[in-house]
Amino acid sequence: MTVTEHIVDGIEYLERSGKGGPVLVLLHGIGSNAGSFRTLLPELPADWRVIAWNAPGYGNSTPLAAEWPLAFDYAGALHRMLTALKLERVLLAGHSLGTLIGAAYAAAHRDRVARLLLASPALGHGMARGVLSPAARARIDDLERLGGSAFAAARAARLVHLPDAHPELVARVEIAMGQVKSPGYGAAARMLASGRLIDDARRLFVPTDVIVGAEDLVTPPDGAERVYEALRPEARGSLTIVPEAGHALYQQAPAGFAAALEALQETAR
């Protein structure tokens, strides 16, 4: 399996080539990056072309110009990337913060998304633009106070179900989280503060599925259920709760996550 790195229109992304299958675009969460999807790739069909982006301000992607971006601003960057790659229709999967971006993109460009997967959905804090929620403020302050490595060490275990039993997984999560930096992380935290995924879900016409780990402490299953119920009946796909999995869902249960992704292709036909 060959994974290559590219930059287009200021966005860095990883790509695993494939011929004959759909194009799957993966959007990571606030404390992660494109590389965290590497463990998922071997579980996906070999004919799929898979693209995992580094959101603006992550990796070598150019930060957004707006100091207080909304999910719509990230969706705009995603649209520019997909347009530059001449991708007219994709399967789209967002994890955690990536669900806010994925929903914003699918609402604005429903003709470009065959089907959407919202994984471990972050509901957002519902604050007005320019107002930080206490949780978002704590994220920004902790990163500035601790630095990336200590920040990650303090948070990584909470993303994994039974972390003491999965030290290698905790270590992978910690490595990715330790790579977050300013201004990208701060902008993402401000977007999270203003996010309103329940409202966005009501605006979706694209067929949409929801998946969450049963033991997710960061975005618990009750939040995923609220998102699922908010979807229009004609857009409501499946709700999957994966047993024995925490917030780092596609790393802790890659086979179950891949099965949900494969269902996207089947039901989008």
pLDDT digits (tens, 9 = 90+) for 236-267: 999 999 999 999 999 999 999 999 888 777 66
Give the span between the Cα atoms of 8 and 61, in whole angstroms: 9
- What predicted TM-score, i.e. pTM, was given to this entire model? 0.97
Element (H, E) at 99: helix 97-108
First to last CA, the chain: 27
Query: How do strand 49-53 and strand 23-27 relate by DSSP bridges?
Result: parallel
pLDDT tens-digit profile of 77-125?
999 999 999 999 999 999 999 999 999 999 999 999 999 999 999 999 9
Partners of 90 in the β-ladder:
113
Report domain extents, the chain. Answer: 3-268
pLDDT average, residue stretch 173-178? 98
Unique residue bearing structure tokens 């603006």: 56
pLDDT tens-digit profile of 46-66?
999 999 999 999 999 999 999
Please name the fold of domain 3-268. Answer: Rossmann fold (3.40.50)
Give the span between the Cα atoms of 9 and 163, in whole angstroms: 38
Main-chain phi, psi angles of 217, to 5 degrees: -90, -15
pLDDT range class, residue 1, cuts 50, 70, 90: confident
Query: What's the mean per-residue pLDDT of the chain?
Result: 96
- Does residue 71 register a pLDDT over 80? yes
pLDDT of residue 268: 56
Q: Cβ distance 74 to 54 under 8 Å?
A: no
Q: Cβ distance 267 to 253 under 8 Å?
A: no
pLDDT of residue 263: 79
pLDDT average, residue stretch 204-230? 98
pLDDT of residue 267: 63
Partners of 93 in the β-ladder:
26, 117
